[in-house]
């Protein structure tokens, strides 16, 4: 009779390609590309950026360059039209849109207080402090973005009333218009600083995200899901060479 037993053991079989894939997962973090900003939201953002740049530059020319004031004024009205379109689109998305488009996602929650603090430290330290993680809107800036939309809408109304009604409730509208323009310019400068710093120090590609809509997210090694390896049942007696078997 053969002396080999009939018990079985389970052996994990790892194909060569599977081993390489597993080693790659274990040795590096996983980066995922996720669609965050919708197409219409990117259109609204681009229109707001174009309108703001056009309005600020032409407004300065109207006030400080008389030789081109007439042409600058025409371009200024064009920028105002683009601004009204952008604000109307953003309002529609904020009320009837989905995901990050909606205004409710621009209101910070109590769970984001730590991220707001960490974001402020990140910017104030010129990127030396660690940057917190977020999905869509920066926790520190999201409420400021909402305020900016209100200020831009107010600026559009003031610009519309100013030629025929320069004085409203003791407010001299040309002065109000110039003050709001200064605040908007400062905000845009701070916004550009923060985005460039995030792209330079971070890994989420925030600048290109406003072009293609995708941000990059790094998943820590401990959170990775490793592939299941196939289990194979092997008989112990099948591992014994035929020449070593003896009959009684």
Are 24 and 60 found together in one domain? no
168 vs 184: CA distance, rounded Å: 21
* DSSP line for 112-180: GHHHHHHHHHHHHTTT-SPPPP-SSS-TTTHHHHHHHHHHHHHHHHHHHHTTT--EETTEEHHHHHHHH
Are 183 and 246 found together in one domain? no
Pair 247, 1: CB distance under 8 Å: yes
∠ CA(192), CA(193), CA(197), 5° rounding? 115
pLDDT, residue 70, reads: 93
Are 116 and 158 found together in one domain? yes
- Give the distance, in angstroms, between the CA of residue 127 and the centroid of all CA atoms in the same chain: 17
Tokens representing 215 are 């941000």
Answer whether residue 71 is part of any domain.
Answer: yes
Three-state secondary structure call for residue 55: helix
Answer whether residue 243 is part of any domain.
Answer: yes
Pair 217, 204: CB distance under 8 Å: yes
Do the strands 8-12 and 231-235 form a parallel or antiparallel pair, or are they unpaired? antiparallel
Answer whether residue 57 is part of any domain.
Answer: yes
156 vs 145: CA distance, rounded Å: 17
Are 68 and 141 found together in one domain? yes
pLDDT in tens, 52-70: 999 999 999 998 998 999 9
Are 122 and 190 found together in one domain? yes
Are 199 and 248 found together in one domain? no
Are 246 and 148 found together in one domain? no
In which residue ranges of the chain is pLDDT below 50? 1-19, 21-23, 25-27, 223-229, 232, 234, 245
Are 239 and 157 found together in one domain? no
Answer whether residue 153 is part of any domain.
Answer: yes
pLDDT, residue 19, reads: 43
Are 107 and 129 found together in one domain? yes
Are 75 and 8 found together in one domain? no
Answer whether residue 224 is part of any domain.
Answer: no
pLDDT, residue 121, reads: 93
Are 160 and 199 found together in one domain? yes
Pair 235, 8: CB distance under 8 Å: yes
pLDDT, residue 233, reads: 53
Answer whether residue 145 is part of any domain.
Answer: yes
239 vs 248: CA distance, rounded Å: 20
Are 180 and 233 found together in one domain? no
Residues contacting residue 235 through CB under 8 Å, at least 6 positions apart: 6, 8
CATH of the domain at 152: 1.20.950
For residue 248, give its domain range.
Answer: 1-28+229-248
Which strand (E) or helix (H) includes residue 218?
A: strand 214-219
pTM above the 0.75 mark? no
Overall number of domains in the chain:
2
125 vs 133: CA distance, rounded Å: 17
Within 10 Å of residue 114's Cβ, how many Cβ atoms?
11
pLDDT, residue 33, reads: 84
Answer whether residue 41 is part of any domain.
Answer: yes
26 vs 45: CA distance, rounded Å: 39
């Amino acid at each position: 009779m053969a002396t080999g037993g009939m018990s079985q053991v389970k052996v994990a079989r790892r194909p060569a390609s599977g081993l390489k894939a597993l080693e790659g997962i274990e040795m590096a973090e996983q980066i995922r590309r996720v669609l965050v900003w919708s197409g219409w939201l990117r259109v609204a953002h681009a229109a707001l950026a174009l309108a703001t740049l056009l309005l600020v530059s032409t407004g300065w020319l109207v006030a400080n360059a008389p030789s081109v004031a007439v042409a600058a004024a025409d371009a200024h009205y064009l920028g105002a039209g683009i601004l009204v379109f952008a604000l109307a689109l953003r309002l529609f998305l904020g009320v009837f849109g989905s995901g990050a488009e909606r205004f409710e996602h621009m209101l910070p929650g109590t769970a984001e207080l730590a991220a707001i603090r960490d974001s402020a430290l990140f910017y104030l330290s010129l990127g030396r402090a660690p940057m917190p993680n977020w999905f869509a809107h920066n926790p520190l800036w999201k409420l400021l973005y909402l305020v900016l939309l209100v200020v831009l809408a107010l600026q559009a109304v003031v610009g519309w009333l100013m030629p025929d009604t320069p004085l409203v409730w003791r407010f001299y509208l040309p002065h109000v218009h110039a003050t709001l323009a200064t605040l908007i310019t400062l905000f845009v400068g701070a916004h550009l600083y923060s985005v460039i710093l995030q792209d330079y120090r971070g890994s989420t590609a925030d600048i290109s995200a406003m072009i293609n809509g995708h941000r990059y997210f790094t998943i820590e090694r401990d959170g990775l899901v490793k592939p299941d390896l196939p289990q194979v049942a092997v008989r112990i007696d099948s591992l014994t060479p035929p020449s070593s078997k003896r009959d009684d």
